[in-house]
Structures are given as structure tokens and as C-alpha cells.
Amino acid sequence: MNHDDEKSALEEAAINIFIELYNFNRQDALKVVEKQECPDYILKNKKEDLIGIEVTHLFYDAEEAKMLLGRSSKELHGLEDSTNYIETLNKLLKQKEKKIDKYDAIYPIALLIRNASPVYGMSDFLKYKSAIYKPEKYSHIWFVSKDGNNNEWLLKDLLAD
């Protein structure tokens, strides 16, 4: 699988997790209208309102990404620190904030972040929620993550209180 195919497969998995969680908890069901480049997906709700979704994945670092994607011969990752992981998330948020300015969209754009770490879960991020950077150019920053021994995905809007 080449990089673009792999990226597309990861984005598709993330958007499917997001839509399932979002629709399970709300009356205003979302569905994919189009897959594109900027933003990655266009979704539509029951009222026919459109929303753009930029999809990204959060890894602790490049080595963890390689390990999780099967591109590393290492079996163990070095010591990980949750405060460093929050810094990694904040760098990702600032990078994505710059990208939104390039979009030419007439609908709101949300950011979807899928936490790929097997070490850190939703509660680790919520514990440090006040330290998470909040780019206000996005209508929502949807964060999907598993948590602890619970193998189910959870959804949280990092912009909501």
C-alpha cells in the first residue's frame, strides 16, 4: 500500500468512527457527501446543511507512527510522557490551524483528530484539557480516542466546555 492509499484508508476509518459515534448520540444524523482534498470530507445533516471535515491522526512521535503502521522493526517504544503528548497535540492543532486559511469553503469546517496511541486514552487528554490549544477557526475540534481498558471509541469536542 502506498502512502496516499494508507493515508486515505486511515482517514476513512476515522470518519466512519466519527459518524457512528456522532449519529449514535444525536438526532441530527450526518452522512458523507464527498471525499476530497481540502477539507478531506464534506458531510451533510438531515437539514441538508454542509460541514467540511479535516481529518488527522495523533501519534506520540514519528517512531510510534512507524511502529503502529508496521514500518518499524522495533518492538518497544521509549518512555512516553503525557505532557509531551499534549505538546504534540498542540503542535498538530497549530499546524492544522494554518491549513484552514487555504480553504475556500462556504460552510463551516471542523477538525477530526483520531488518537492513535495505544498508551494514552480519552481521560488522559481530558485531564489536561485546559492545556490543549483551541484554534477558533474550526467550528468543532472532534477528538476520537479509546480509553484505558475500554476498547470502545469515545467522542469529545475539544472546543466545548
pTM of the model: 0.89
For residues 55 and 112, is the Cβ–Cβ distance under 8 A? Answer: yes
Q: Which residues pair with 53 in a beta bridge?
A: 41, 110
Query: Residue 142 in contact with residue 112, Cβ under 8 Å?
Result: yes
Handedness of CA 44, 50, 51, 54 (dihedral sign): positive
Report the share of the chain in percent with pLDDT over 70: 86
The whole-angstrom separation of Cα 148 and Cα 135 is 27
Residues 6+ apart with CB under 8 A from 157: 140, 141, 142, 143
What are the tens digits of pLDDT across the range 62-115?
Answer: 666 556 666 657 765 555 566 688 999 999 999 999 988 888 889 999 999 999
pLDDT at 119 over 90: no
Q: Regarding predicted confidence, which is higher, 55 or 25? A: 55
